[in-house]
Amino acid sequence: MDGRTAIEYGSLSAAERRAVDRIVANSSGDDYGTYEPRLENPIVDREPPFLVERNGTLYTIRQDGGTTIGPGFFGFVLGMGVAAVGLVICVASGIGYVVLGRRGTDG
């Protein structure tokens, strides 16, 4: 081993145990590849990789792709919609300034 000490599963907080359970379930079986930890996940704050001993099995928890910040694809689509509305408002404001600005200087 590389000198790291395993963390006993029972010594983790309830939230950390739930996160470890999700990570272990994600690594095999039907849930494979479905878990994306969010920034508020208690495991995210730990320095990866770390070792957890659970039911006599030693697991290495490591980070391989970062965390999910937003609500996924729906959040992306919603953000694009908001950006489109903002762009329309900017263009309309520019056109209004040009049209109304000229009218105000005519006389």
List the one residue out of 39, 97, 91 whose CA is nearest residue 63.
39
Evaluated on CA atoms 94, 98, 99, 100, the torsion sign reads positive
Residues 43 and 19 in one domain: yes
Residues 13 and 51 in one domain: yes
Residues 37 and 77 in one domain: no
| pTM greater than the 0.75 cutoff | no
As for how many domains the chain has, the answer is 2
List the one residue out of 46, 41, 42 whose CA is nearest residue 62.
46
pLDDT at res. 16: 83
pLDDT tens across 11-56, in order? 888 888 888 888 777 776 666 666 666 666 666 666 656 788 888 8
pLDDT tens across 59-83, in order? 777 666 555 555 567 778 888 999 9
Residues 81 and 46 in one domain: no
The distance from CA 26 to its chain's CA centroid, rounded to whole angstroms, is 16
Q: In angstroms, rounded to a whole number, what is the distance separating the alpha carbons of residues 39 and 14?
A: 17
CB 88 within 8 A of CB 81: no
Range of the domain at 107: 70-107
